[in-house]
Amino acid sequence: MMIELIYAGVAVIFVLLLLYISRKKWGKNTKINYALILAFVLIFLGLFFNSKPEIGYLLLALGAIIAIVERIISRRKS
């Protein structure tokens, strides 16, 4: 269990680092939606914790709910 948490932590840091590097490439005017980043990370962790189904499904569901709610909110704004 502990090694899975270490792998998950390294994977999340790697994804955030990639987002930071790509933001530098896009420029300062590009807005990043942090709620969708959180949803992506939760879905990624849910897929990663397949040995503990209750944790994996919970993280998958939370990520999907956040992504759906954010999409609904962004459609109402535009």
The pLDDT of residue 25 is: 66
The pLDDT of residue 26 is: 65
The CA-CA-CA angle for residues 56, 8, 48, to 5°, reads 35
The pLDDT of residue 7 is: 76
Question: Model pTM?
Answer: 0.66
Count Cβ atoms below 10 Å from residue 41 Cβ, excluding itself. Answer: 19
Domain boundaries, the chain: 2-77
Rounded distance, CA 60 to CA 50, Å? 11
What confidence tens digit (pLDDT) does each residue in 13-72 have?
A: 887 777 777 766 666 666 767 888 888 888 888 887 777 788 888 888 998 999 999 989
The pLDDT of residue 5 is: 72
